[in-house]
Structure 1
Amino acid sequence: MAELVDVPSSRRWLARLSFLTVAAAVLLVLAVAGLRGSIGLLLVGSIGSAVGLAAAWWFLTHRGLLRWLAGAVVVLAPLVVAVLFARANLIWVMIVFGLLWSAAVAAGQRALAPDREDTITEYETPPPRRPYLIMNPRSGGGKVERFHLAERARELGAEVYVFHGPAVDVAEVARDAVRNGADLLGVAGGDGTQALVAGIAAEHGLPFLVISAGTRNHFALDLGLDREDPSTCLDALSDGVELRIDLGLIGDRTFVNNASFGAYAAIVQSPAYRDDKIGTTLDLLPDVLTGHDGARLRLDVDGVSVTGPQAVLISNNPYAADDVAGLGERPRLDGGTLGVLAVTVRGAADAAGLISGGGRARALTVRATTEAVVDADTPTLPVGIDGEAVILPTPVRCSIRPGALRVRVPRRRPGVRPARPEMDWKRLRRLAFARRRSSDAAAV
């Protein structure tokens, strides 16, 4: 018997549409290829995918001739599958199947999305009287100069410090500004510089201004700021509101985005990484992924120990559910939790499952917690903190500081895009086939 639930009819019909579209995709393949042909089609696709994914693992974990042979297999495997499908006149079937499946997922995600997106609370506060902004003219390929940020900030009454050279102690510059009476600290630069100054602002209870003048601007993205035109961030000086967001803490240092351990952290430590990111990564990955180079990690979180992960990412609030690499967006910055993600790949099968999504539970550890500890078999450990390479003594303890940072943002800004919900087929089935609770039934 179907359960009684209170669900908007539009969401129930979207859930049903998702299952109907899946059924249409399956029926299409059966109608065109028949039962035996469908099984053969499935076998060819599965074998091709398995070979390609295994070859991708070999490409990442070997050098020289073996790497390039594996790379050739990565390219050839889908081509061979496509040729076999073409010879059976089934290419169009796979294209339509893919479109139907994409439509099913889109409808399912719309059905599973919450009725209302919770947004972070905005606080009305008076504009700062003595704002102090620190700007890196090299960040983001010269955005400070290109958008005339220093000039515009001074016109709005801010004191601006433009620093040149890597020897500048940005944290000390911010502390001097506080001692001289600054009532707001801001940064036009990369996320690493943002994190340093944000920590000083939080320490003194001052509002912090983010100016999206970096290269990737992940922090600005999750604050809903305009990353295309960083000058719009300056509007917060005259017409802004405040948000209370969390800060990550690693040792005695703050981070606004994430701290990474293992593969990525080891690679960014290389002096050659800045000049040749792709070449350096490909050269170092074999030893990092197979454990022949670097420290052996251990992650302790919520009473669970994970031994030997190749990579650990600890973020200030979790990333979206479909973002296993931590490269996308965080739906919230005020949830009061760390996002913890550890990747432990023992071989090609684990790598294939991780990439395809079929075996993520075995290769991936995901937690939302308030504290995590990363230890190693070495006295120190390379860590990437908001993209900056540092060396820290082990064990490394990470925690969350809920609501520690006051961020001043423009009243009018693009905002944060709603996160796509994870496809939970069991929940979607309950939603699709549940009977709507009537007012009489609800009263019983």
Structure 2
Amino acid sequence: MGGERRLGQASGPADRAPAGRWAARLALLVAAGALALVLAAAGVSSLGLLGVGLAGLVVTAAALWWTLSRRGLVRVLAAALALLTPGAVLLAYAIVGLLWAVLSALALWAVAALIGRAALAADAGRPERRQRSTPPPKAPYLIMNPRSGGGKVGRFDLVAKARARGAEVVVLDPEHPQDVEELARRAVAEGADLLGVAGGDGTQALVAGVAAGHGLPFMVISAGTRNHFAMDLGLDRDDPSKCLDALTDGVELRVDLGLIGERVFVNTASFGAYATVVRSPAYRDDKVRTVLRELPDLLTHHMGPRLTVRAGQVAIEAPQGVLISNNPYGLGDAAGLGRRPRLDSGALGVLGVSVDNAAQAAGLLRGQQSRGLISLAAEEVVVHADAPDVPVGVDGEALELPAPVVCRVMPGALRVRVPRDRPGVPEARPPVDWRALGRLAW
């Protein structure tokens, strides 16, 4: 197609195999070196060292569960156990004179994992993303929240810079809340040919829904606090003024949108314990105390609605927490659930956590192999509850929706205008599959 080109297209096997193969071999060599170091230093007692370390992890996980799910003296004792156990394990290693070997082996293993993850990512190739050259907008309309991100709109002089590029800018008044959807609809009626937001993900989602409904391009200015959507679009989160380059030298992407009921979301919709806690009137004034007070009843199903989640052919019964995302997040990211390799897969990500006792909490250490952790993708997810209404956190906004709640993906629903030059999308970071690494190495 005329103005369309592909970004991040995966190279063919012949192009990437040699580099990926040698990186995989290096990762396996470093991992073997970590094991050899422990064997050389400890001999047959290395099995005992491994057992002590695994036992420490299990005890710590169980203690954390008791800390969150109990009150009073049991909680205090469990918290103390969770804090003291790792120190006790390290002290045991130090007493037998092998702390240096264990720490060195852990460092080598971490290096091996980093190299292995890079090798697998290179072998898989980066997800293909299409961008299309389009002419600059003639009547862009931007909504800016001066309080977002601790005042980034003012700190980076975004209003003046946007107006200098020909945009009409409306600055929200924090003392007098305005309906941003109505502002956006009015702008469209008056001839705006692009809608954009400098603010949080919740505000971005509302305006993105209006843009998608009218087939207009949408522009994200990374002036929020976390900027998850901006990060996954490859935008500069350190300097939001660079996002304004899209007004004069931009390209267009097609991305998916999530829909919960009739409301659009760009990042996530969360159900369960977290969503219920943030609905509490006391949460805003005292977050920590509110969480510690309400979590025990939520985790043991004595408070809050009992959920059943159906995603395709899979049912998740009575989870304590469910996260539904606009495209799946990468579980292999060392930083946690913070990145989506792509925003155009045409699927929702579903992550469910079901833990009913300390043993199951310890089982979460197995990651994606844990029975208490379910991760999958689906085009539609239905959340049932034993209550008429369900607390939901949608892109950081606390809501209550009538059950059952239906979440769907709208593939390619949103045209997003981004700068031609931008940092780029974070690379996919799959978890280290040592069997796959072995196959790649040979």
TM range (shorter): over 0.9
Deviates more, 1:165-174 or 1:393-402: 165-174
Tell me the equivalent position of 2:61.
53
Deviates more, 1:115-124 or 1:67-76: 115-124
The residue type paired with residue 426 of structure 2 is R
> Structure 2: which 5+ residue stretches go unaligned?
1-12
Determine the C-alpha separation between the residues in 1 that align with 2:398 and 2:334: 22
Determine the C-alpha separation between the residues in 1 that align with 2:354 and 2:133: 46
Tell me the equivalent position of 1:438.
none
Residue 192 to residue 324, structure 1, CA distance change in 2 (3 Å): farther
How far is 1:64 from its partner?
Answer: 2.6
Residue 254 to residue 205, structure 1, CA distance change in 2 (3 Å): same
Tell me the equivalent position of 2:230.
220
Residue 359 to residue 346, structure 1, CA distance change in 2 (3 Å): farther
Q: Alignment partner of 2:133: what SS?
A: coil
Determine the C-alpha separation between the residues in 2 that align with 1:379 and 1:323: 36
Within-5 A mapping of 1:243-254: 243-254=253-264
Determine the C-alpha separation between the residues in 2 that align with 1:271 and 1:362: 34
Tell me the equivalent position of 2:388.
379
Within-5 A mapping of 1:158-173: 158-164=167-173, 165=175, 167-173=177-183
Residue 193 to residue 166, structure 1, CA distance change in 2 (3 Å): farther
Tell me the equivalent position of 2:280.
270
Tell me the equivalent position of 1:104.
112
Determine the C-alpha separation between the residues in 1 that align with 2:237 and 2:121: 26
How far is 1:293 from its partner?
Answer: 0.9
Determine the C-alpha separation between the residues in 2 that align with 1:84 and 1:261: 41
Tell me the equivalent position of 1:338.
348
Residue 325 to residue 266, structure 1, CA distance change in 2 (3 Å): farther
Establish whether residue 117 from structure 1 lines up as the match of residue 126 from structure 2. yes
Tell me the equivalent position of 2:399.
390
The residue type paired with residue 388 of structure 1 is E
Tell me the equivalent position of 1:95.
103
Tell me the equivalent position of 2:8.
none
Determine the C-alpha separation between the residues in 2 that align with 1:9 and 1:143: 45
Establish whether residue 431 from structure 1 lines up as the match of residue 440 from structure 2. yes
Establish whether residue 152 from structure 1 lines up as the match of residue 161 from structure 2. yes
Deviates more, 1:63-72 or 1:405-414: 63-72
Establish whether residue 11 from structure 1 lines up as the match of residue 20 from structure 2. yes
Determine the C-alpha separation between the residues in 2 that align with 1:357 and 1:365: 12
Residue 202 to residue 109, structure 1, CA distance change in 2 (3 Å): same
Within-5 A mapping of 1:166-245: 167-245=177-255
Determine the C-alpha separation between the residues in 1 that align with 2:252 and 2:282: 40
Q: Deviations over 1:165-205 (max 9, x none)?
A: 36311111111111111111111110000000000000000
| TM norm structure 2 | 0.93
Percent identity for Structure 1 against Structure 2: 60
Are 1:319 and 1:326, in contact at CA under 8 Å, matched by a contact in 2?
A: no
Within-5 A mapping of 1:254-403: 254-323=264-333, 327-354=337-364, 356-357=365-366, 360-403=369-412
Determine the C-alpha separation between the residues in 2 that align with 1:322 and 1:332: 14
Q: Alignment partner of 1:318: what SS?
A: coil
Tell me the equivalent position of 2:6.
none
Q: Alignment partner of 1:214: what SS?
A: coil
| TM norm structure 1 | 0.92
How far is 1:324 from its partner?
Answer: 9.9
Q: Alignment partner of 1:415: what SS?
A: coil
Are 1:350 and 1:359, in contact at CA under 8 Å, matched by a contact in 2?
A: no
Determine the C-alpha separation between the residues in 1 that align with 2:388 and 2:271: 14
Residue 223 to residue 366, structure 1, CA distance change in 2 (3 Å): same
Residue 230 to residue 167, structure 1, CA distance change in 2 (3 Å): same
Determine the C-alpha separation between the residues in 2 that align with 1:275 and 1:190: 20
Residue 21 to residue 257, structure 1, CA distance change in 2 (3 Å): same
Determine the C-alpha separation between the residues in 2 that align with 1:338 and 1:147: 34
How far is 1:323 from its partner?
Answer: 5.0
Establish whether residue 135 from structure 1 lines up as the match of residue 144 from structure 2. yes
The residue type paired with residue 382 of structure 1 is P
Establish whether residue 23 from structure 1 lines up as the match of residue 44 from structure 2. no
Determine the C-alpha separation between the residues in 2 that align with 1:114 and 1:199: 35
Q: Alignment partner of 2:370: what SS?
A: helix
Residue 358 to residue 238, structure 1, CA distance change in 2 (3 Å): closer
Are 2:20 and 2:122, in contact at CA under 8 Å, matched by a contact in 1?
A: no
Deviates more, 1:321-330 or 1:310-319: 321-330
Q: Deviations over 1:385-417 (max 9, x none)?
A: 101011111111111111100111111111112
How far is 1:207 from its partner?
Answer: 0.5
Are 1:257 and 1:386, in contact at CA under 8 Å, matched by a contact in 2?
A: yes
Residue 67 to residue 323, structure 1, CA distance change in 2 (3 Å): farther
How far is 1:326 from its partner?
Answer: 6.7
The residue type paired with residue 177 of structure 1 is A
How far is 1:428 from its partner?
Answer: 1.5
Are 2:367 and 2:373, in contact at CA under 8 Å, matched by a contact in 1?
A: no
Tell me the equivalent position of 2:83.
75
Cα RMSD after superposing both structures: 1.8
How far is 1:351 from its partner?
Answer: 1.1
Q: Which of residues 65, 72, 88 in structure 2 aligns to 1:64? A: 72
Determine the C-alpha separation between the residues in 2 that align with 1:281 and 1:323: 26
Q: Deviations over 1:102-155 (max 9, x none)?
A: 122122212212354234211111111111111111111111122121122112
> Structure 1: which 5+ residue stretches go unaligned?
434-444
How far is 1:217 from its partner?
Answer: 0.8
How far is 1:277 from its partner?
Answer: 2.7
Q: Deviations over 1:251-284 (max 9, x none)?
A: 1111000110001211211222233333322222
Are 1:311 and 1:342, in contact at CA under 8 Å, matched by a contact in 2?
A: yes
Establish whether residue 40 from structure 1 lines up as the match of residue 58 from structure 2. no
